Amino acid sequence: PKEYVQQQSCRKVAIVTASTDGIGLAAARALGKKGASVVVSSRRQANVDRAVTLLQSQNIQVTGTTCNVGNGQDREKLIDITLQTYGGIDILISNAAVNPFFGNTMDSTEEVWDKILSVNVKAAFLLTKLVVCHMEKRGGGNIVFVSSVGGYQPMPGLGPYCVSKTALLGLTRVLAPELAPSNIRVNCVAPGVIKTRFSSALWENEDVMDEFKKQLSIKRVGNPEEIGGVIAFLCTEDASYITGETITATGGMSGRL
Ligand code: NAP
Protein backbone atom coordinates (compact mmCIF):
# COMPACT_ATOMS: atom_id res chain seq x y z
CA PRO A 1 0.00 0.00 0.00
CA LYS A 2 1.06 3.57 -0.71
CA GLU A 3 0.92 4.52 2.96
CA TYR A 4 3.35 1.77 3.82
CA VAL A 5 5.79 2.89 1.11
CA GLN A 6 5.65 6.44 2.44
CA GLN A 7 6.30 5.19 5.94
CA GLN A 8 9.23 3.16 4.65
CA SER A 9 10.75 6.13 2.88
CA CYS A 10 10.59 8.20 6.10
CA ARG A 11 12.66 5.67 8.00
CA LYS A 12 16.24 6.69 8.72
CA VAL A 13 18.84 4.24 7.48
CA ALA A 14 21.66 3.44 9.87
CA ILE A 15 24.93 1.61 9.27
CA VAL A 16 26.54 0.30 12.45
CA THR A 17 29.97 -1.33 12.13
CA ALA A 18 31.10 -4.20 14.36
CA SER A 19 27.47 -4.65 15.35
CA THR A 20 27.00 -8.36 15.88
CA ASP A 21 27.89 -8.20 19.56
CA GLY A 22 28.45 -5.82 22.48
CA ILE A 23 28.10 -2.06 22.06
CA GLY A 24 27.54 -2.16 18.29
CA LEU A 25 24.67 -4.62 18.60
CA ALA A 26 23.14 -2.53 21.38
CA ALA A 27 23.44 0.61 19.24
CA ALA A 28 21.78 -1.17 16.30
CA ARG A 29 18.95 -2.26 18.61
CA ALA A 30 18.50 1.23 20.08
CA LEU A 31 18.42 2.84 16.63
CA GLY A 32 16.02 0.17 15.39
CA LYS A 33 13.73 0.75 18.37
CA LYS A 34 13.63 4.42 17.40
CA GLY A 35 12.39 3.37 13.96
CA ALA A 36 15.56 3.26 11.89
CA SER A 37 16.29 0.56 9.34
CA VAL A 38 19.64 -0.82 10.41
CA VAL A 39 22.49 -2.57 8.64
CA VAL A 40 24.55 -4.75 10.95
CA SER A 41 27.97 -6.08 10.04
CA SER A 42 31.11 -7.72 11.34
CA ARG A 43 33.83 -10.04 10.01
CA ARG A 44 32.06 -13.38 10.45
CA GLN A 45 28.95 -14.41 8.50
CA ALA A 46 27.71 -16.64 11.34
CA ASN A 47 27.78 -13.65 13.71
CA VAL A 48 25.96 -11.48 11.17
CA ASP A 49 23.25 -14.13 10.71
CA ARG A 50 22.80 -14.48 14.46
CA ALA A 51 22.50 -10.71 15.00
CA VAL A 52 20.03 -10.27 12.13
CA THR A 53 17.83 -13.08 13.46
CA LEU A 54 17.96 -11.66 16.98
CA LEU A 55 17.06 -8.11 15.92
CA GLN A 56 14.31 -9.33 13.59
CA SER A 57 12.80 -11.22 16.51
CA GLN A 58 12.66 -7.86 18.32
CA ASN A 59 10.68 -6.30 15.45
CA ILE A 60 13.57 -4.27 14.08
CA GLN A 61 13.94 -3.68 10.37
CA VAL A 62 17.41 -5.02 9.73
CA THR A 63 19.71 -6.47 7.14
CA GLY A 64 23.30 -7.59 7.49
CA THR A 65 26.54 -8.28 5.67
CA THR A 66 30.08 -9.22 6.48
CA CYS A 67 32.46 -6.26 6.65
CA ASN A 68 35.96 -6.17 8.06
CA VAL A 69 36.28 -2.39 8.34
CA GLY A 70 40.02 -2.61 7.71
CA ASN A 71 39.34 -3.86 4.16
CA GLY A 72 38.49 -1.26 1.48
CA GLN A 73 36.44 -3.65 -0.66
CA ASP A 74 34.41 -4.68 2.37
CA ARG A 75 33.72 -1.04 3.22
CA GLU A 76 32.43 -0.39 -0.30
CA LYS A 77 30.32 -3.56 -0.20
CA LEU A 78 28.73 -2.37 3.05
CA ILE A 79 27.71 0.91 1.44
CA ASP A 80 26.47 -0.80 -1.75
CA ILE A 81 24.32 -3.30 0.14
CA THR A 82 22.85 -0.53 2.28
CA LEU A 83 21.92 1.51 -0.81
CA GLN A 84 20.51 -1.52 -2.63
CA THR A 85 18.42 -2.56 0.38
CA TYR A 86 17.21 0.74 1.78
CA GLY A 87 17.97 3.32 -0.92
CA GLY A 88 19.99 5.79 1.14
CA ILE A 89 22.14 6.42 4.21
CA ASP A 90 21.34 8.76 7.11
CA ILE A 91 23.43 7.47 10.01
CA LEU A 92 26.92 5.95 10.39
CA ILE A 93 28.02 4.49 13.70
CA SER A 94 31.73 3.70 13.45
CA ASN A 95 32.21 1.27 16.30
CA ALA A 96 34.86 -1.25 15.20
CA ALA A 97 38.18 -1.44 17.01
CA VAL A 98 40.96 -3.92 17.59
CA ASN A 99 43.60 -4.22 20.24
CA PRO A 100 46.24 -6.78 19.28
CA PHE A 101 48.76 -5.57 21.90
CA PHE A 102 49.10 -5.49 25.68
CA GLY A 103 52.31 -4.33 27.37
CA ASN A 104 54.78 -1.49 27.59
CA THR A 105 54.25 0.85 24.68
CA MET A 106 58.00 0.87 24.01
CA ASP A 107 57.71 -2.83 23.16
CA SER A 108 55.01 -2.31 20.52
CA THR A 109 55.98 -2.89 16.90
CA GLU A 110 55.29 -1.17 13.59
CA GLU A 111 52.84 -3.98 12.75
CA VAL A 112 50.88 -3.29 15.95
CA TRP A 113 50.67 0.43 15.17
CA ASP A 114 49.70 -0.19 11.54
CA LYS A 115 46.91 -2.56 12.55
CA ILE A 116 45.51 -0.40 15.36
CA LEU A 117 45.61 2.88 13.48
CA SER A 118 44.30 1.30 10.29
CA VAL A 119 41.22 -0.34 11.86
CA ASN A 120 40.47 2.04 14.72
CA VAL A 121 41.15 5.40 13.05
CA LYS A 122 41.77 5.25 9.29
CA ALA A 123 38.77 2.99 8.58
CA ALA A 124 36.51 5.32 10.62
CA PHE A 125 37.55 8.21 8.39
CA LEU A 126 37.38 6.25 5.12
CA LEU A 127 33.88 5.02 5.94
CA THR A 128 32.88 8.61 6.67
CA LYS A 129 34.25 9.60 3.30
CA LEU A 130 32.12 6.94 1.62
CA VAL A 131 28.84 7.88 3.32
CA VAL A 132 28.91 11.69 3.24
CA CYS A 133 27.77 12.13 -0.39
CA HIS A 134 24.81 9.81 0.31
CA MET A 135 23.87 11.76 3.45
CA GLU A 136 24.06 14.98 1.45
CA LYS A 137 21.55 13.53 -1.03
CA ARG A 138 19.16 13.06 1.93
CA GLY A 139 19.72 16.62 3.17
CA GLY A 140 21.95 15.66 6.14
CA GLY A 141 22.86 12.93 8.54
CA ASN A 142 24.65 11.79 11.67
CA ILE A 143 28.02 10.21 12.31
CA VAL A 144 29.05 8.81 15.69
CA PHE A 145 32.52 7.46 16.47
CA VAL A 146 33.02 5.08 19.37
CA SER A 147 36.10 6.12 21.32
CA SER A 148 36.92 5.16 24.93
CA VAL A 149 37.60 6.77 28.26
CA GLY A 150 41.13 5.54 27.55
CA GLY A 151 41.26 8.16 24.82
CA TYR A 152 41.36 10.82 27.57
CA GLN A 153 43.55 9.05 30.09
CA PRO A 154 45.56 6.07 28.80
CA MET A 155 45.19 2.79 30.65
CA PRO A 156 48.33 0.89 31.60
CA GLY A 157 49.31 -1.73 29.01
CA LEU A 158 47.01 -0.33 26.32
CA GLY A 159 49.15 2.53 24.97
CA PRO A 160 48.69 2.22 21.19
CA TYR A 161 44.97 1.40 21.55
CA CYS A 162 44.44 4.44 23.78
CA VAL A 163 46.30 6.68 21.32
CA SER A 164 43.95 5.47 18.58
CA LYS A 165 40.98 6.37 20.77
CA THR A 166 42.43 9.85 21.42
CA ALA A 167 42.72 10.24 17.64
CA LEU A 168 38.94 9.72 17.35
CA LEU A 169 38.34 12.67 19.69
CA GLY A 170 40.42 14.70 17.25
CA LEU A 171 38.67 13.29 14.18
CA THR A 172 35.30 14.28 15.68
CA ARG A 173 36.51 17.86 16.20
CA VAL A 174 38.07 18.04 12.75
CA LEU A 175 35.04 16.76 10.84
CA ALA A 176 32.22 18.53 12.71
CA PRO A 177 32.86 22.02 11.26
CA GLU A 178 33.66 20.62 7.81
CA LEU A 179 30.40 18.68 7.59
CA ALA A 180 28.07 21.11 9.41
CA PRO A 181 27.30 23.02 6.17
CA SER A 182 25.97 19.70 4.78
CA ASN A 183 23.72 19.37 7.84
CA ILE A 184 25.74 16.36 9.03
CA ARG A 185 26.49 16.20 12.77
CA VAL A 186 29.62 14.38 13.92
CA ASN A 187 29.83 13.22 17.51
CA CYS A 188 31.63 10.66 19.60
CA VAL A 189 30.91 8.46 22.60
CA ALA A 190 33.62 7.47 25.08
CA PRO A 191 32.50 4.50 27.18
CA GLY A 192 34.06 3.43 30.45
CA VAL A 193 34.32 -0.30 31.17
CA ILE A 194 31.33 -2.03 29.57
CA LYS A 195 30.53 -5.71 30.02
CA THR A 196 31.44 -7.20 26.63
CA ARG A 197 33.82 -9.86 25.33
CA PHE A 198 36.29 -7.11 24.36
CA SER A 199 36.81 -6.05 27.98
CA SER A 200 36.38 -9.48 29.63
CA ALA A 201 40.02 -9.54 30.86
CA LEU A 202 39.07 -6.57 33.08
CA TRP A 203 35.66 -7.49 34.47
CA GLU A 204 36.35 -11.21 34.85
CA ASN A 205 39.20 -10.46 37.26
CA GLU A 206 37.71 -9.72 40.70
CA ASP A 207 40.86 -8.16 42.14
CA VAL A 208 41.23 -5.81 39.18
CA MET A 209 37.54 -4.89 39.41
CA ASP A 210 37.65 -4.21 43.16
CA GLU A 211 40.49 -1.75 42.61
CA PHE A 212 38.82 -0.27 39.54
CA LYS A 213 35.45 0.27 41.24
CA LYS A 214 37.11 2.72 43.64
CA GLN A 215 37.24 5.15 40.69
CA LEU A 216 33.54 4.76 39.93
CA SER A 217 30.53 6.59 41.37
CA ILE A 218 28.25 3.82 40.10
CA LYS A 219 29.96 0.74 41.49
CA ARG A 220 29.54 -1.65 38.59
CA VAL A 221 30.60 -2.08 34.98
CA GLY A 222 28.25 -0.72 32.36
CA ASN A 223 25.95 -2.68 30.07
CA PRO A 224 26.14 -2.35 26.27
CA GLU A 225 22.57 -0.93 26.26
CA GLU A 226 23.80 1.97 28.40
CA ILE A 227 26.07 3.01 25.53
CA GLY A 228 23.74 2.04 22.67
CA GLY A 229 21.12 4.43 24.02
CA VAL A 230 23.57 7.34 24.12
CA ILE A 231 24.68 6.63 20.56
CA ALA A 232 21.07 6.52 19.35
CA PHE A 233 20.21 9.73 21.22
CA LEU A 234 22.99 11.58 19.37
CA CYS A 235 21.31 10.65 16.08
CA THR A 236 17.89 12.04 17.05
CA GLU A 237 16.40 15.51 16.68
CA ASP A 238 16.73 15.90 20.46
CA ALA A 239 20.47 16.24 19.82
CA SER A 240 20.06 18.67 16.91
CA TYR A 241 22.37 21.33 18.45
CA ILE A 242 25.13 18.87 19.40
CA THR A 243 28.09 18.42 17.07
CA GLY A 244 31.82 17.95 17.54
CA GLU A 245 31.22 16.61 21.06
CA THR A 246 32.28 13.49 22.88
CA ILE A 247 29.88 12.17 25.50
CA THR A 248 31.54 10.09 28.20
CA ALA A 249 29.46 7.32 29.80
CA THR A 250 31.65 5.83 32.48
CA GLY A 251 29.61 5.40 35.67
CA GLY A 252 31.21 8.58 36.98
CA MET A 253 34.80 7.51 36.61
CA SER A 254 37.05 9.93 38.46
CA GLY A 255 40.69 10.71 37.82
CA ARG A 256 40.39 9.85 34.16
CA LEU A 257 38.84 12.83 32.43
P1 NAP B 1 32.66 -6.80 21.52
O2 NAP B 1 31.45 -6.99 22.35
O3 NAP B 1 33.81 -7.73 21.73
O4 NAP B 1 32.19 -6.85 19.99
C5 NAP B 1 33.10 -6.65 19.01
C6 NAP B 1 32.38 -6.67 17.66
O7 NAP B 1 33.29 -6.21 16.68
C8 NAP B 1 31.92 -8.04 17.23
O9 NAP B 1 30.67 -7.89 16.57
C10 NAP B 1 33.01 -8.46 16.22
O11 NAP B 1 32.46 -9.42 15.36
C12 NAP B 1 33.31 -7.11 15.58
N13 NAP B 1 34.63 -6.88 14.97
C14 NAP B 1 35.85 -7.10 15.50
N15 NAP B 1 36.81 -6.71 14.65
C16 NAP B 1 36.19 -6.19 13.55
C17 NAP B 1 36.62 -5.63 12.33
N18 NAP B 1 37.93 -5.51 12.03
N19 NAP B 1 35.69 -5.20 11.44
C20 NAP B 1 34.39 -5.32 11.71
N21 NAP B 1 33.90 -5.85 12.84
C22 NAP B 1 34.80 -6.29 13.75
O23 NAP B 1 33.29 -5.33 21.65
P24 NAP B 1 32.75 -4.00 22.37
O25 NAP B 1 33.26 -3.97 23.75
O26 NAP B 1 31.30 -3.82 22.12
O27 NAP B 1 33.56 -2.89 21.57
C28 NAP B 1 32.98 -2.03 20.61
C29 NAP B 1 33.67 -0.70 20.62
O30 NAP B 1 33.57 -0.13 21.93
C31 NAP B 1 35.16 -0.71 20.28
O32 NAP B 1 35.44 0.41 19.48
C33 NAP B 1 35.83 -0.57 21.63
O34 NAP B 1 37.11 0.02 21.51
C35 NAP B 1 34.85 0.34 22.32
N36 NAP B 1 34.94 0.36 23.77
C37 NAP B 1 34.63 -0.76 24.50
C38 NAP B 1 34.73 -0.69 25.89
C39 NAP B 1 34.40 -1.87 26.76
O40 NAP B 1 34.67 -1.81 27.98
N41 NAP B 1 33.83 -2.93 26.24
C42 NAP B 1 35.14 0.48 26.52
C43 NAP B 1 35.45 1.58 25.74
C44 NAP B 1 35.33 1.51 24.36
P45 NAP B 1 33.38 -10.38 14.42
O46 NAP B 1 34.26 -11.17 15.32
O47 NAP B 1 32.37 -11.21 13.66
O48 NAP B 1 34.14 -9.46 13.50
74, 194, 198: which to mutate for ligand 1, most atoms within 8 A of CB?
198
Residue 126: φ, ψ to 5°? -65, -35
What does the pLDDT average to over 12-39? Answer: 98
Cα torsion angle, 104, 204, 96, 148, sign: negative
Give exposure, 203-241, as e/b (b: 16+ Cβ within 10 Å).
Answer: beeeeebeebeebbeeeebbebebbbbbbbbbbeeebee
The atom number, within ligand 1, closest to the CA of 194 reads 40
pLDDT band of residue 257 (cuts 50, 70, 90) is low
Report the pLDDT averaged over residues 184-190.
98
- Give the pLDDT band of residue 256 (cuts 50, 70, 90): low
Which residue has a Cα nearest atom 48 of ligand 1?
43
Ligand 1 in reach of 227 Cβ (< 6 A): no
Supply the pLDDT for residue 104: 98
pLDDT tens figures, 196-228: 999 999 899 999 899 889 999 999 999 999 999
- 150 pLDDT band (50/70/90 cuts)? very high
Q: What is the pLDDT of residue 5?
A: 46
Place 2 in a pLDDT band, splitting at 50, 70 and 90: very low
**Confidence label for 254 from pLDDT (cuts 50, 70 and 90):** confident
pLDDT digits (tens, 9 = 90+) for 228-240: 999 999 999 999 9
CA angle 234, 237, 242 (to 5 degrees): 50
Say yes or no to pLDDT of 132 above 60: yes
Average pLDDT of the chain to the nearest whole number: 95
The pLDDT, as a whole number, for residue 255 is 63
pTM: 0.96
What is the DSSP code (8-state) at residue 194? B
Residue 10 binned pLDDT confidence (cut-offs 50, 70, 90): confident
CA–CA separation, 124 vs 126, rounded Å?
6
Predicted confidence band of residue 251 (pLDDT cuts 50, 70, 90): very high
pLDDT confidence tier of residue 119, bands split at 50, 70 and 90: very high
Catalytic residue, chosen from 4, 152, 161, 241, is 161
Atom number in ligand 1 closest to CA 98: 15
- Ligand 1 atom closest to Cα of residue 69: 19
Active site residue 161: yes
Domains in the chain (CATH in brackets) are 2-249 (3.40.50.720)
Confidence check: pLDDT of 1 > 50: no
Output the pLDDT for position 244: 98
